[in-house]
Amino acid sequence: MTNLQAVFFDLGDTLVDLGEGRGDYEERLKARVGRVYDALAAAGAQLPDRTLFCDALANGSEERYRRALAEQQGLDIYDVLRWFFERMGIQPDDGLLEIGGDAYCRGVTAGLPLRTGALELLRELRGRGLKLGVISNTLQPGRYLDDSLARKGLLEFFPARIYSSEVRVAKPHPAIFRAALAALDVPPERALHVGDRPEADVAGAHGVGMKAVLIGVPHRPSEESSAVPDARIAELPELLEVLDGLA
């Protein structure tokens, strides 16, 4: 790829192994909603039965998030909780929203492993003088994701981190990719995006003139799409060969 200046990465199941499709993701979701209930109860909120609350929040948050992604809209956990509180008859004051959002976001993903070769790849790309960035669809506010990246030793690599929860649009919307390109001051034809979703990552990047590499997630069902990546990789270390080939 001639004169490549920047490489952008998705986070979940691209740099970080979420385990979606193995049951890991579902277990973490149960832990998240349980933490929300316990934090709200400790703050004195009047809540329904714990099982009812947790099941409703787990299902409702996923439904709201999937719907937002389908409409290429960005939303955060506070949007979801505000809607959920009203549905549950809980007064949605800012204090409880902050407590619930913090409980949802903090600590649950601390032990998630990186995908094979992630740190070594990022060091190599930075050593080649490439600018690096993140483009991620997420319910979490940026400060939580930044904190997670820092704990995993990744934050230093990414001067540009563009989250759907912050820019209020979601991949594959062109605005989220353009925001990332602007943050690193690179033209689309000199940028590459690596992600695990054909529509969100490949079609989205192609839509603004970027190249796109699709990384496989073997434990998750394949997503049907007409989007054709510029290259496919099974694991992150293969990206170096792809870059040489594209060049």
pLDDT tens-place string over residues 225-240: 889 999 999 999 999 9
pLDDT given at position 110: 64
Residues 120, 78 share a domain: no
Which among 2, 90, 93 is positioned nearest to 46, based on CA atoms? 90
pLDDT tens-place string over residues 39-66: 999 999 999 999 999 999 999 999 999 9
Q: Are 214 and 229 in contact (CB under 8 A)?
A: yes
This model's pTM is above 0.85: yes
User: In terms of residue numbers, what domain contains 208?
Assistant: 6-18+112-246
Residue 241: C-alpha distances to residues 84, 120, 181, 197, 244 (Å): 47, 14, 23, 21, 5
Write the secondary structure of 107-142 as one string of H (helix), E (strand) and C (coil): CCCCCCCECCCHHHHHHHHHHCCCEEEEEECCCCCH
For the cut 60, the answer to whether the pLDDT of residue 1 exceeds it is no
pLDDT averaged over every residue in the chain: 93
CATH assignment at residue 230:
3.40.50.1000
| pLDDT interval class at 150 (50, 70, 90) | very high
Residues 121, 13 share a domain: yes
Residues 116, 98 share a domain: no
Residue 51's identity, in one-letter code, is T
pLDDT given at position 163: 98
Q: Considering the domain boundaries, does residue 1 fall inside one?
A: no
At residue 79, the 3 state secondary structure works out as helix
Q: Other C-beta atoms within 10 Å of 238: how many?
A: 17
Count of the separate structural domains present in the chain: 2
Q: Considering the domain boundaries, does residue 133 fall inside one?
A: yes
Q: Considering the domain boundaries, does residue 231 fall inside one?
A: yes
Q: What are the residues whose beta carbons fall under 8 Å from the beta carbon of 72, sequence distance 6 or more?
A: 169, 170, 171, 172, 173
Q: Which one of 72, 105, 138 terminates a domain?
A: 105
Name the one residue in this structure whose structure tokens are 């079609």: 203
Residues 224, 120 share a domain: yes
Residues 238, 134 share a domain: yes
Q: Are 170 and 73 in contact (CB under 8 A)?
A: yes
Residues 213, 126 share a domain: yes
